Structure 1
Amino acid sequence: MTKWFLFAVILFMSIDAKAQEYSLTFPVMPLHDPFILADQASKTYFLYTSNVPALTGEKRRGTMAYESKDLQHWSKPVVVFTPPDTFWAHDGAWAPEVHAYHGRWYLFTTLHNEANPIPQAAPVGHATYMRGTIIAVAQSPAGPFLPLKQDGPVPPADFMTLDGTLYIDHTQKPWMVYAHEWLQKGDGTMEAVPLTPDLSGASGPPIHLFKGSDAPWLNAEIVPSARSSVYITDGPELFRTKDNHLLMLWSSYEHAHDVTDAGSSYVETVARSRSGEIQGPWEQLEPLVRGDSGHGMLFHTFDGRLMLVLHHPFRNARGKIFEVSDRGDHLAIVRERIDLDGGAK
């Protein structure tokens, strides 16, 4: 009797400890630009976002990661990357994402340095300064991640860029796809730069993919203004469908808007390459999710379901998860998984 009582107590304590370890849910988790990696080896979901000092105790900018076994209950976040003290930039650390590649794990995140200006007259009258995506490497998805390139971002240093993501083409050639900032371009663009096989830097010049104003649903909503309208391009991610179509998820705003307009709503949308290759040409499809939601990233659950995680609203963002259907030449939302995201509105 005593033996079974002790066993029950130990089992209860073990279950309670596990519940405390995974005690967070989406409504209480700050999640701007969320990215979920499903690690098959450990059967663990890693959710990466920018460091929140109040949650981690780490005051420096960087990347933190939550962990989960079921996509509903998450651990307290742990910092997995901070820029080295002597690094070229220490601000930002936006839009982190982690990719498995040749047996190691690679973090892509965007840093900036306002003290290092880019000497260019911006078309919308904003200051331009060094901003771009870096790549860091680790032996585990839990980090720690160490930068590969020390002297600047992977895209050209005189480009103001953000939200770089990894794409591997049909020849196994790696690329970084990124957004070229509206702050520098006015009409933001999507571009791609080829990478060296070890991802340590660029192996050639970047190529243009498309510009924000190419989206017909966006142009239809333009409101004439005496001031300049801008077209924002954010959050690219490449996805190969079951019928071999190449899609790109990306985000913008519901309509072209004045740089002073705070009322425009964030949108998650999709482009499709007519050639099936990164070079395009690219055609714009209808948005997937509206309602001030965006910067979406796709992942597969351990039982094979395709999911989309994004943030809503843009300010004070929280995560939302949608189940997605691969229709061959496009994606469709099946349902919002309110059982996972807490039904946050």
Structure 2
Amino acid sequence: MRLEDIQIRDPFVLHVPADADGPAPRTSTGRYHLFGSTDVDIWSGPATGFDTYWSDDLEHWHGPAPAFRPSPDFWSHTQYWAPEVHRYRDAFYMFATFTAEGERRGTQVLRAERPEGPYEPWSDGPLTPRAWECLDGTLHLEGDGTPYLVFCHEWKDVGDGEVQAVRLSDDLRATVGEPFLLFRASEAPWARSIPRPEFPEVYVTDGPSMHRTRDGRLTMLWSSFGDSGYAMGVATSASGDIAGPWTQADEPIWPADGGHGMIFADASGKLFLTLHTPNRTPDERARLFPLEETPDGLRLRR
């Protein structure tokens, strides 16, 4: 298959080098693994789980294979969103969004010994605050290796969507301390409010994804709505640390009908941005674009 054959939202690409070390079995090393929201209808109905696809060259893809399937007693059975997989220490960890009737949406951590899975619950339910509506958690490691969960506190609670962070335990099974605010969606000059009856103005935050540039700048991709619909911008930490302060690019890096992206490097070190577009079901597809780091920020090479 090619990417145009695969319905997927919130794409995430993990490259596992052929010479990857560690105790995890290496049957899939030297490959690119594509994860994302892969249920045919992620918005309603019972969820199947998460699938993964794999490729040796970023052009020809194989699969799908089941990366996660819930057990009958798993707490959530609907709206499985935005899985990310990070290699951390001796294993692979999936950060994914789940919800259930009577429960708040949140990000839970799952674990596997192989990048393709199968993934099993690792944290005891969501690590985002249980009283908040949250989504799209991602793993960030500070320069000293301290892990953090970066996530969105939804507009459904606060109107002006927030990006928050909380420190994680070294085993990624629990949080340490309280969440702290990084920024609000309305701080981006390009972000626009959308009509909702619950608040006078609603600003969306989606899909934070961290990227450290080669010269040491800490940046974050995140999505909201701009002048031409769903879009994706870039924020930069002035301190180079997760605490910020965070400044927003004036213009979105992807301005229309797509977003929820991330950055990865191929086997040669070349950077790519992946995102889904268009932003409508069932037509959403992952796309890959070469990416440049410039003194002025990140730039697509289309």
Q: TM-score, normalised by structure 1?
A: 0.78
How many Å separate the matches in 2 of 1:223 and 1:206?
26
2:55 pairs, out of 38, 44, 68, with 68
Q: Partner of 2:157: helix, strand, or coil? A: helix
How many Å separate the matches in 1 of 2:184 and 2:154?
11
1:166 pairs, out of 121, 128, 139, with 139
How many Å separate the matches in 2 of 1:327 and 1:275?
18
Q: Partner of 1:237: helix, strand, or coil? A: strand
Q: Which of 1 and 2 has greater Rg?
A: 1
Match of 2:22 in 1: none
Q: Does 1:322 align with 2:295?
A: no
* Contact 1:50 1:61 (C-alpha < 8 Å) held by counterparts: no
Match of 1:191 in 2: 164
Q: Per-residue CA shift, 1:127-183, capped at 9, x if unaligned?
A: xx4100110011010101111123x31011111100000000012100010011111
Q: TM-score, normalised by structure 2?
A: 0.89
Note the C-alpha offset of 1:218.
2.4
Letter of the 1:268 partner, please give it.
Answer: M
Q: Partner of 2:150: helix, strand, or coil? A: strand
Note the C-alpha offset of 1:291.
1.9
How many Å separate the matches in 1 of 2:158 and 2:86?
29
**Residues 51 and 332 (structure 1 numbering): CA distance in 2 closer, same or farther, change over 3 Å?**
closer
How many Å separate the matches in 1 of 2:195 and 2:123?
43
Q: Equivalent residues in 2 for 1:146-157 (5 A)?
A: 146-150=120-124, 152-157=125-130
Match of 1:87 in 2: 74
- Structure 2: runs of 5+ lacking an equivalent: 19-28
Letter of the 2:138 partner, please give it.
Answer: T
Q: Per-residue CA shift, 1:33-67, capped at 9, x if unaligned?
A: 0100111032111000223369xxxx843111001
Match of 2:212 in 1: 240
How many Å separate the matches in 2 of 1:304 and 1:277?
24
How many Å separate the matches in 1 of 2:106 and 2:156?
13
Letter of the 2:88 partner, please give it.
Answer: Y
* Contact 1:131 1:160 (C-alpha < 8 Å) held by counterparts: yes
* Contact 1:310 1:320 (C-alpha < 8 Å) held by counterparts: yes
Count how many residue pairs are aligned between Structure 1 and Structure 2.
284
Match of 1:131 in 2: 105
**Residues 225 and 252 (structure 1 numbering): CA distance in 2 closer, same or farther, change over 3 Å?**
closer
Letter of the 1:198 partner, please give it.
Answer: D
Q: Partner of 2:94: helix, strand, or coil? A: strand
How many Å separate the matches in 2 of 1:85 and 1:53?
20
Q: Equivalent residues in 2 for 1:297-308 (5 A)?
A: 297-308=262-273
Tell me the C-alpha RMSD between the 2 structures.
Answer: 2.0
2:95 pairs, out of 102, 108, 111, with 108
Q: Does 1:44 align with 2:44?
A: no
Q: Does 1:311 align with 2:298?
A: no
**Residues 311 and 51 (structure 1 numbering): CA distance in 2 closer, same or farther, change over 3 Å?**
closer
* Contact 1:95 1:110 (C-alpha < 8 Å) held by counterparts: yes
How many Å separate the matches in 2 of 1:69 and 1:50?
21
Match of 1:251 in 2: 223
Query: In proportion to residue count, which structure has more helix?
Result: 1
